[in-house]
Chains A and B, each alone.
Chain A
Amino acid sequence: EIVLTQSPGTLSLSPGERASLSCRASQSVSSISLAWYQQKPGQAPRLLIYGVSSRATGIPDRFSGSGSGTDFTLTISRLEPEDFAVYYCQQYGSSPFTFGQGTKLEIK
């Protein structure tokens, strides 16, 4: 099983700032099978990034993904008020499909 570890657990930033969220895998993630999701309270997760760096439909270009092997990063270039939420990385290249424990992005 691939274990995904996200850091930091909580990130406190202000609107307009840049956010960098990390996801580290216990072993190399198959191909480019790494995604990021955003979840707001009381809502289902929303797919942001797949294939490490491809934005899902309708996702603004301030969201970007990068990385390879075991180290991945989600970057939000300039935070908007609606970006404060919990973010999860996920690998979908091997079963079981696993998620990181999440990073909470909160307003400073």
Chain B
Amino acid sequence: QVQLVQSGAEVKKPGASVRVSCKASGYTFTSYYMHWVRQAPGQGLEWMGIINPSAGGTNYAQKFQGRVTMTRDTSTSTVYMELSSLRSEDTAVYFCARVYSDKWSPFDYWGQGTLVTVSS
């Protein structure tokens, strides 16, 4: 069965960087794009970007351009999301989510979420 297992909660100071991992299993890793979505406490869902696990190409939301980097390791079927220059407003749960079929399709499997807390 398809599973996306994310890394554990992180506490970071303002200005630092955080890297969250998402390990996929149960399907062919390189065949499905992966998105990152975040959710601030009590707030809605915010799309951050997408990565093609096959070629490594990425597309980021303009809001995060210059601060976010999405990468993948095909040998371990893992995608990574690194966010730099953290500020308190980046405190959120970060989810990875797999597409249903091609790039332009809904998100059918989600990781369990990783809480990132930014606090001095």
Contact = CB atoms under 8 A, between A and B. Distances in A.
Closest 6 CB pairs of A and B: A44-B110, A35-B106, A50-B106, A99-B45, A97-B47, A101-B44
Nearest to A57: B108
A30 B47 CA distance: 18
A47 B100 contact: yes
A96 B106 contact: no
Interface residues of A, number: 24
Contacts of A44: 95, 97, 110-113
Interface string A46-59: 11001000001100
Contact of B47 (A37, A46, A57, A96): A96
A23 to B, nearest CB: 13
Interface in B76-111: 95, 97, 100, 104-108, 110-111
Given A44-B113, A45-B110, A99 B47 contact: yes
A19 to B, nearest CB: 19
B39 to A, nearest CB: 9
A96 B100 CA distance: 17
Interface residues of B, number: 22
Contact of B46 (A35, A45, A46, A99): A99
B59 interface: yes
A42 to B, nearest CB: 9
A100 to B, nearest CB: 7
Contacts of B28: none
A64 to B, nearest CB: 16
A33 interface: yes
Given A96-B47, A99-B37, 14 more contacts: A39-B45, A44-B95, A44-B97, A44-B113, A45-B95, A46-B110, A47-B108, A50-B100, A56-B106, A57-B108, A90-B107, A92-B105, A97-B47, A97-B50
A47 B59 CA distance: 22
29 contacts: A35-B106, A35-B107, A44-B110, A44-B111, A44-B112, A44-B113, A45-B45, A45-B95, A47-B106, A47-B107, A47-B108, A50-B100, A50-B106, A88-B44, A88-B45, A90-B45, A90-B107, A92-B104, A92-B105, A92-B106, A92-B107, A93-B104, A96-B47, A97-B47, A98-B47, A99-B44, A99-B45, A99-B46, A102-B45
